[in-house]
Amino acid sequence: MRILLVEDEEGIRDLVQLNLEEEGYEVVTAKDGKKAIELYQGQHFDLIILDIMLPELDGLQVCEQIRLHNAHVPILMLTARNTATDRITGLRRGADDYLTKPFHLEELLLRIKKLLQRTTQNPKLNTNQFSFGKNRVNFSTYEAWGNPGKFTLTKKEALLLKLLIERRNEVVSRQQILQSVWGYDVFPTTRTIDNFILSFRKYFEKDPRKPKYFQSVRGVGYKFTYDEKAENPTADQPKK
């Protein structure tokens, strides 16, 4: 099993790496978020251990970028950020588990073992689908169903749509979109994002001139507005 360990504190990084290798894992390390993305894109990993407070890109941004491309690799947040809000944010951004510093090595090793067992014994179905209104998207195949009927999204369209849906009802800044979808070193004009949003409205909105789902927030970014109770009115009703 190969593990990517992303930690900027050398003492913690060396200690965790040593103990993981003694357990038989192959460990690759990175000390900043940008290097973590480069390693992830170029190699296969069975699990990722991720600090939040990192140079270049923070751990939440790294987690989010990885999740846009891979919904299944286990991600364990290992961080000094220990409030309930921090934990909820980490889990919402795609982490599978959250362990705060200081920590016991035995607990860390047990959590890693459980995450790997869960992945290998009960692999998730690769459906990765989302429905809203009369629309449906399969992020694994890039197939979508909307106003044009069935059609195929481009890779960038699928990544941007997935980011907005995963951050639904939150305003996502242009900078966050550019970094997550286009990459750390590639920055197209913000007009490019505007054109993608216009395309989404044509694909999925009943009236593109009065969008229900794809909102622009002037001077800030964009938001996918989704009311789960309105979309699924029977979801919270008790079963008879």
Which strand ranges, in their side-by-side order, compose the sheet holding 172-173? 172-173, 221-224, 214-217
CB-CB contact of 16 with 7 (8 Å) = yes
Q: How far apart are CA 225 and CA 74, in angstroms?
A: 28
Q: Which residues contact 180 (CB under 8 A, 6 or more apart)?
A: 61, 64, 65, 68, 159, 163
% of the chain residues with pLDDT over 70: 90
Position of tokens 């290798």?
A: 21
> Please, where in the chain does CATH 3.40.50.2300 lie?
2-121
CA 183 remoteness from chain centre: 14
- Superfamily designation of domain 2-121: Response regulator (3.40.50.2300)
Q: pLDDT digits over 134-182, tens only?
A: 999 999 899 999 999 999 999 899 999 999 998 899 998 888 888 788 8
More confident residue, 235 or 73: 73
Name the band, by pLDDT with cuts 50, 70 and 90, for residue 191. Answer: confident
Name the band, by pLDDT with cuts 50, 70 and 90, for residue 69. Answer: confident
Q: What is the mean pLDDT of residues 114-135?
A: 75
What mean pLDDT value characterizes the chain? 88
> Please, where in the chain does CATH 1.10.10.10 lie?
129-231
Q: How far apart are CA 15 and CA 69, in angstroms?
A: 30
Residue 219: the pLDDT is 83
Residue 124: the pLDDT is 47
Please check the confidence at residue 12 and state whether its pLDDT lies above 90.
yes
Token pair belonging to 62: 């790294």
Q: How far apart are CA 128 and CA 124, in angstroms?
A: 9
Architecture of the domain whose range is 129-231: Orthogonal Bundle (1.10)
CB-CB contact of 86 with 95 (8 Å) = no
Q: Which range in 69-78, 105-114, 115-124 is most confidently predicted, on average pLDDT?
A: 105-114
